[in-house]
C-alpha cells in the first residue's frame, strides 16, 4: 500500500503549474483557472515563521496577482493549527475531496473503448464540456504542457461527438486520473466506465501498477463507478477561502 504522504506528493506533482513560489515550507501556486490545486496555498513542509505573518504574506501575494487567497488543507498540512487559524480569520471550508487509490487490476477492466487525443484537442474538448471561459482553457493547457511527467488524454465518442474525456498522468509505478468528465446528455450510458477502464489500461501500458484520483466527497455517482474498479478513499482534503472565493 502506498504511503499517504507519497500519495499526496504524486497529486501535487501531477498538478504543478508553470509558476509557483516556495515560502517558508509552503507552496504558493498562482495559475488562474478552474483547478484550485494550481491556484492555492499548500502547506506541505515545516515552518519557522509566525503563522499570522505567513497568512498575511500569502494574502498579499494573491492580491497582487488578482486572485483570491485559497488554502488547501490536508492531513499533512503544517502547522497543525492552520485549519483552525483560517477559520478564525473567516476562511470558509468548501469542496471536500476524497483521494482514492487502487491497484490496477486488469481483470476488472473491459476492453478499451477510448481513443487517444492530442493535448490541445483534449483541453478544447474538456473546456467545451465544462463550458469553461477561454482563460481557464489557456491555463489548463499551460499546466499540462509544462509537466515533465508522461501523460495520455483519451476520449469516448458517440454519435454526437465526444461523450466523455479524461487524462492519465504517470509517475513511476503510479498513475493519476484527472479531468474525467461526461457530456451532460450522455450520462448514465456507460461512457465514464469505458473511459476509466481505458485510462487504467493505458496507464498499465505506460508502466503504472497503481492508480489514484481525486473526487468530490459528495459525488456519489462518480465514486460508485470508481469503486467498481477497486478505488477506495485513503484521505480527504478541503479548501478554505473567504466569501466570494468559494
What is the 3 state secondary structure string of the chain? Answer: CCCHHHHHHHHHHHCCCCCEEEECCEEEECCCCCCHHHCCEEECCCCCCCHHHHHHHHHHHHHHCCCCCEEEECCCCCCCCHHHHHHHCCCEEEEEEEEEEEECCHHHCCCCCCEECCHHHHHHHHHHHHCCCHHHHHHHHHHHHCCCCEEEEEEEEECCEEEEEEEEEEECCEEEEEEEEECHHHCCCCHHHHHHHHHHHHHHHCCCCEEEEEEECCCHHHHHHHHCCCCEEEEEEEEEECCCCC
Name the segment(s) of the chain with CATH classification 3.40.630.30: 101-236
Banded pLDDT at 246 (limits 50, 70, 90): low
Question: Which of the residue ranges 3-12, 58-67, 88-97, 106-115 would you say has the lowest mean pLDDT?
Answer: 106-115
- If one compares 232 and 188, the residue with the highest pLDDT of the two is 232
Tell me the average pLDDT of the chain. 93
- Say yes or no: domain 101-236 is CATH 3.40.50.10420: no
Per-residue pLDDT at 16 exceeds 90:
no
- pLDDT confidence of residue 232: 97
- Report which of residues 133 and 208 the model is more confident about: 208
Per-residue pLDDT tens over the stretch 83-131? 999 999 999 999 999 999 999 999 889 877 899 999 999 999 999 999 8
Q: Given this model, what pLDDT does residue 157 score?
A: 94
* pTM to 2 decimal places: 0.92
Amino acid at each position: 500500500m502506498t504511503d499517504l504522504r507519497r500519495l499526496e506528493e504524486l497529486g501535487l506533482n501531477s498538478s504543478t503549474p508553470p509558476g509557483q513560489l516556495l515560502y517558508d515550507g509552503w507552496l504558493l501556486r498562482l495559475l488562474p483557472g478552474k483547478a484550485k490545486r494550481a491556484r492555492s496555498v499548500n502547506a506541505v513542509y515545516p515552518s519557522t515563521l509566525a503563522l499570522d505573518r505567513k497568512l498575511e504574506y500569502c494574502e498579499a501575494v494573491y492580491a497582487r496577482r488578482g486572485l483570491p487567497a485559497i488554502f488547501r488543507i490536508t492531513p499533512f498540512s503544517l502547522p497543525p493549527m492552520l485549519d483552525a487559524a483560517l477559520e478564525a480569520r473567516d476562511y470558509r471550508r468548501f469542496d471536500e475531496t476524497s483521494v482514492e487509490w487502487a491497484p490496477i487490476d486488469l481483470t476488472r477492466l473491459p476492453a478499451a473503448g477510448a481513443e487517444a487525443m492530442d493535448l490541445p484537442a483534449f483541453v478544447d474538448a474538456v473546456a467545451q464540456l465544462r463550458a469553461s471561459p477561454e482563460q481557464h482553457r489557456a491555463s489548463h493547457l499551460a499546466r499540462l504542457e509544462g509537466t515533465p511527467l508522461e501523460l495520455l488524454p483519451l476520449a469516448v465518442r458517440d454519435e454526437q461527438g465526444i461523450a466523455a474525456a479524461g487524462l492519465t498522468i504517470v509517475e513511476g509505478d503510479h498513475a493519476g486520473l484527472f479531468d474525467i468528465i461526461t457530456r451532460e446528455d450522455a450520462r448514465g450510458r456507460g461512457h465514464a466506465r469505458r473511459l476509466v477502464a481505458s485510462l487504467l489500461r493505458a496507464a498499465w501500458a505506460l508502466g503504472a501498477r497503481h492508480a489514484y484520483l481525486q473526487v468530490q466527497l459528495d459525488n456519489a455517482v462518480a465514486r460508485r463507478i470508481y469503486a467498481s474498479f477497486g478505488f477506495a478513499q485513503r484521505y480527504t482534503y478541503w479548501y478554505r477561502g473567504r466569501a466570494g472565493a468559494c
